[in-house]
């Protein structure tokens, strides 16, 4: 099977050059023309895809060759691009910057090659004129397998400045597809982990995306960019499909014991599920299957769309809820997923929602599966910056100045609702908080880099960790999670 969705990769020499403005503006400008636009982001970032979704009207999806493996980049791309007229892929950092110490792995250039997509280089031209030709020539010739199809010049000061830049690039033989003038920055405020997510800005985010779209529409050759996108090479692979990958993935390594089954109190490497609690009583199932509640709202905005798709394919009814506003879990909740976000920003409001904190604690006491990543880990702690949280874990969390950031190779060290001990996964850390202790009596992961350590907590059905993982890389974790929902 071959597919040839028109597509562009938006790259830059470095961070801060204007990739997000150009990529988001292009998505919105193409959508305004009536095109169905598929939005994508290279790397693990959760925030930019929110702006992409607002611009395109479709779910923003990540393409990460480290978390998922190079072999899944094209299938995941085709999954997201089903039925679309054009796809725009925003790069990460500088074009050739990837996973530390891993060469090109997970770089924008690597993903562009995997997608056989032309690259548009966004160049901050604010402090140069003729030198831009040498810069662009270097990026265009560094790797002959990467096709730099043209440039968009950002922060251009005047007509005279534009003429000098165009003259230089003409001699270098690189087309100019757009010129964005030096104007007041589009209102996209940042804080300790980057841009403020769309879910927290609402009307302001809509205005910001509209401003990006107008800037790109006025300054770029949209017809030329569509023509360039149509020159992308065919992809000889099938689109990723959650149901198909679950059907072909290995079954759970062994049956997941129900609370009433005979089982040792502490199985090798982990904790046994606890008995059902009278605090919640039975958890009724809906006619469509088991309910897996997924935290959302402004405090929990970080998740990969494929996680919910895998849970649904495994037989769960995925029901979102907002821990800032909802005082109870969705009816019939049999399992709980709490992804990343900014609970530290909303600690007082989360703490004030005592009914929901008690409901989460009661659910965890029954042994029901609870998967928590980063923000979810903080929410399950006893306290966050002195504010009471759910108290599921005997741990405290607090903000700190130091940024913890980077890819991680991890091995499950305890049997859990997600994985059997020994399961290898790749993850990503991105936070300015610390949890004490760092790991429970049964840890979630063993991590070697940047230092060898045990990390996270496994107790009863809870799996809580700082690590963000992409379940498409090991789809069996979703099936195992749903199986535990059925038997807990």
Catalytic residues: 374
Which CA distances in Å does 32 have to 57, 202, 222, 331, 392? 11, 20, 12, 39, 47
Could you count the other beta carbons within 10 Å of the beta carbon of residue 398? 16
Backbone angles phi, psi at 50, to 5 degrees: -65, -40
Sole residue written with tokens 């199809």: 149
Q: DSSP 3-state helix, strand, coil percentages of the chain (rounded to 5)?
A: 30, 25, 45
In sign, the C-alpha dihedral spanning 283, 285, 290, 293 is negative
Rg (alpha carbons) of the chain, rounded to whole number: 23
CB 183 within 8 A of CB 151: no
Edge-to-edge strand list for the sheet holding 119-124:
61-63, 37-42, 86-90, 7-11, 119-124, 148-156, 176-181
Query: What b-and-e string marks burial along 257-289, b requiring 16 or more CB atoms within 10 Å of the CB?
Result: bebeeeeeeebebbbbbbebeeebeebeeeeeb
Strand partners, 295: 321
Closest CA to 446 of 307, 269, 273: 269
Sole residue written with tokens 């929901």: 356
Query: Mutual orientation of helices 305-313 and 476-487 as an angle, nearest 10°?
Result: 50
């Amino acid at each position: 099977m071959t597919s040839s969705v028109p597509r562009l990769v938006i790259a830059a020499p470095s961070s801060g050059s204007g990739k997000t403005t150009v990529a988001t503006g292009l998505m919105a400008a193409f959508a305004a023309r009536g095109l169905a636009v598929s939005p994508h982001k290279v790397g693990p970032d959760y925030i930019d895809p929110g702006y992409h979704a607002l611009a395109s009207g479709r779910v923003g999806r990540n393409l990460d060759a480290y978390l998922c493996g190079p072999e899944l980049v094209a299938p995941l791309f085709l999954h997201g691009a089903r039925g679309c007229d054009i796809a725009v892929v925003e790069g990460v950092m500088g074009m050739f910057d990837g996973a530390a110490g891993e060469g090109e792995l997970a770089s924008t250039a690597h993903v562009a090659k995997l997608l056989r997509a032309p690259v548009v280089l966004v160049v901050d031209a604010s402090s140069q004129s003729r030198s831009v030709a040498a810069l662009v020539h270097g990026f265009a010739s560094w790797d002959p397998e990467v096709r730099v199809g043209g440039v968009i010049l950002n922060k251009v000061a005047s007509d005279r400045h534009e003429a000098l830049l165009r003259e230089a690039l003409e001699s270098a033989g690189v087309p100019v597809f757009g010129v964005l003038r030096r104007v007041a920055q589009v209102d996209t405020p940042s804080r300790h982990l980057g841009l403020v997510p769309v879910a927290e800005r609402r009307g302001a985010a809509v205005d910001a995306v509209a401003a990006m779209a107008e800037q790109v529409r006025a300054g770029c050759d949209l017809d030329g960019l569509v023509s360039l996108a149509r020159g992308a090479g065919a992809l000889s692979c099938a689109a990723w499909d959650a149901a198909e990958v679950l059907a072909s993935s290995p079954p759970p390594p062994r049956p997941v014991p129900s609370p009433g089954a005979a089982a040792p109190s502490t199985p090798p490497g982990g904790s046994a599920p606890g008995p059902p609690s009278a605090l919640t009583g039975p958890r009724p199932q809906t006619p469509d299957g088991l309910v897996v509640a997924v935290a959302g709202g402004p405090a929990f905005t970080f998740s990969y769309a494929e996680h919910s798709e895998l849970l649904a394919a495994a037989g769960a009814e995925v029901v979102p809820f907002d821990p800032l506003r909802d005082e109870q879990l969705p009816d019939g909740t049999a399992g709980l997923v709490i992804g990343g976000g900014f609970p530290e920003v909303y600690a007082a409001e989360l703490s004030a929602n005592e009914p929901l904190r008690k409901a989460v604690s009661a659910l965890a006491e029954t042994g029901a599966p609870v998967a928590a990543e980063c923000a979810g880990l903080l929410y399950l702690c006893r306290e966050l910056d002195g504010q009471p949280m759910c108290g599921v874990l005997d741990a405290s969390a607090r903000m700190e100045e130091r940024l913890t950031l980077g890819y991680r190779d991890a091995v499950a060290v305890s049997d859990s609702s997600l994985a059997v001990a020994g399961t290898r996964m790749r993850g990503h850390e991105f936070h300015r908080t610390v949890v004490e202790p760092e790991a429970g009596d049964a840890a979630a992961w063993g991590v070697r880099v940047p230092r060898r350590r045990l990390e996270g907590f496994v107790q009863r059905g809870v799996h809580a960790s700082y690590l963000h993982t992409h379940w498409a890389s090991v789809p069996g974790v979703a099936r195992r999670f749903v199986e535990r929902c059925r038997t807990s």
